[in-house]
Structures are given as structure tokens and as C-alpha cells.
Structure 1
Amino acid sequence: MRVRDVMTTPVVAVTPAATIGEAIAVLTGKGITSLPVVGDTGELLGLLVEEDLLRARFLADSDPDGGVMLSGHTKVSALMRRPVAGAHPDSDLTDLTAKMLDRGLRSVPVLEHGRVIGVITWQDLLRAGPSAQRKRP
């Protein structure tokens, strides 16, 4: 089975100029755990992850490196992860699952010609079910 068979579309994304408040409203309103950060033509610039938002909101004062002081007006660009690896829509689902688990990634943007065309999440993988497993010799 391929990534394109189970990826979520259409993509819910934000731009680097969006505020953290706007991004949190999208995350909580849609019940998702991360947002691709895209440029004007849909190219992937970064990834905003709820884990980073929680760390910045509740633990920045105790971070020995200073952390990012979070306000609702902070721009997404201040907190997004980069660089971000994406998956190709024709990638093998089992291979991507192994990479996601090894790296602790709950979601991965799906890229075609550098543009975000979908997102694959743990929920997508679970919905794919047992038929998505590659047969092992």
C-alpha cells in the first residue's frame, strides 16, 4: 500500500505569518496535532507541532536555553520546526510507518514537486488497518 492511498486531503496548513493564536484555533478546531507551514505556492517551509506549542506555553520559563516566549500574537515562523522531511505519495506505507515510529513523528507532510498535497498521520495509519501491512517472506 502507498502513502497516497491513506493520506489526508485536503491539507490544512498555515503560513509563517499566521499567529500562534490562529494556529491553535485551527489545531483545536480540527482536532489535529500539527500543521504544515507553507509558502505562497504551497511549498513546505516548516511544521508547527502541538508538542512545541505546549512546551513554549507551559515550560518556556523553566527552559535553560530560554525557549520561545509564547503569546497569541507570536508568529508561527518563530516556533515552526525546520527543516522538515516529507514523504512522497508513492512511498511504501510500511517503510514510512517505520520511519515515523523511529523518529517519533506523529505526522508527515506528503510532497509532490515540493508542494504539500496531503498529510499522513498515525490516525491515517491506524485507519489503513491490517491490509496495509507488507507481506514478509
Structure 2
Amino acid sequence: MKTVAEVLKAKDQKNQDVHTIQWDHTVFEALVRMSEKNVGALPVVKEGVVVGIISERDYARKIMLKGLSSVTTKVHEVMSSPVITVDTHKKVDECMNIMTDGHLRHLPVVENGKLLGLLSIGDLVKEAIASQADLIKQLEQYIRGE
């Protein structure tokens, strides 16, 4: 299985920047940014450090269902924290286990305190499928004696 670094490198080829939101911005601002960037979650930063993550699920559960206003509620009031992060050396299957065990859909990638990217469960599933397809191809070639 590939490492997080390899997955991020493939994502970078598709021109995908890391989008974040400041911890003191409103939830509405976070929702606008998620919509504009077509992402389901944003790492929350305070003074350059990832301190949490806010997702569409956080909005649904912590704002909508409680009748709060996204215009007046600050991101830090509803973000998921502490945030679980991974480094670039983790393997895809290890990340999938972390996400499954923690019921997470997004994992910020942090190396030496710097945010390098955000992995989604979709990114990891795509990689796992590609890896399995390669393995199947190799096994078929082996069986055929190629």
C-alpha cells in the first residue's frame, strides 16, 4: 500500500490546495468556504496550528439540530477537537483503520507542525481500489505464466 505522501503527491497533481478556516471565524464563513471549494470539511487553524476540524456533519448536528445560528456561532464552538492527524509516512491502510475506528471522514496531514493536506475517506478508498486492481493484474499475469 502507498503512503500518505504518495497519495498527497497524486492529489497535488490535480491542483488541490489545502483549504482552512481560522478558529475565530463564523460557522457561516466556514460553510461558504466549503461550498466554494467543494469540500466537506476544513481544518481549523489558530496562529498557524491545526486545532480542530469542522465538517458539514458538525454543522448538521451542532448547529441545525440545536437551532443555533451559523452566522453568530464561531467555528471553535462547534469544531471537532482535539483533531486526529497523520504524518506522511503512514500507510493508506493504517489511515483507513484510524478513520474507521474513530468514525472519521477526514484526516489532516501534518508534518513538523505544518499542515500539508487533508485526506478524505474517498481519497483512501480510491487508492485501496487501485492497489487491489494492481494486485489482481499481477496475480492474473502470474497464473498465465507471464
TM-score range, shorter chain: 0.7 to 0.9
- Structure 1: which amino acid aligns with 2:30? A
* 1:79-94 equivalence runs, <5 A: 79-94=78-93
Give CA deviations for 1:39-66 in whole Å, capped at 9, x if unaligned. Answer: 233x2111112111011333115xxxxx
- Cα distance change, pair 132–38 in 1 and its aligned pair in 2 (3 A): farther
Whether contact under 8 Å (2:92, 2:128) holds in the other structure is no
* TM-score, normalised relative to structure 1: 0.82
Q: 1:55 aligns with which of 44, 52, 61?
A: 61
Whether contact under 8 Å (1:14, 1:38) holds in the other structure is yes
Matching of residue 10 in structure 1 with residue 9 in structure 2: no
The count of corresponding residues between Structure 1 and Structure 2 is 126
How far apart are 1:129 and its partner, in Å?
Answer: 4.4
Whether contact under 8 Å (1:16, 1:76) holds in the other structure is yes
Unaligned runs of 5+ in 1: 62-68
User: What is the CA–CA distance in structure 1 between the aligned matches of 2:56 and 2:70, rounded to whole Å?
Assistant: 15
The higher-RCO structure (CA 8 Å, 6+ apart) is 1
* 1:1-137 equivalence runs, <5 A: 1-7=2-8, 8=11, 9-41=16-48, 43-61=49-67, 69-132=68-131
User: What is the CA–CA distance in structure 2 between the aligned matches of 1:56 and 1:95, rounded to whole Å?
Assistant: 29
User: What is the CA–CA distance in structure 2 between the aligned matches of 1:99 and 1:56, rounded to whole Å?
Assistant: 23
- Structure 2: which amino acid aligns with 1:54? A
- Structure 1: which amino acid aligns with 2:54? L
Q: Which has the larger radius of gyration?
A: 2
- Structure 1: which amino acid aligns with 2:123? D
* TM-score, normalised relative to structure 2: 0.77
Give CA deviations for 1:73-115 in whole Å, capped at 9, x if unaligned. Answer: 3211111111111001111111111221222110000000122
Percent identical pairs in the alignment equals 28
User: What is the CA–CA distance in structure 2 between the aligned matches of 1:30 and 1:126, rounded to whole Å?
Assistant: 21
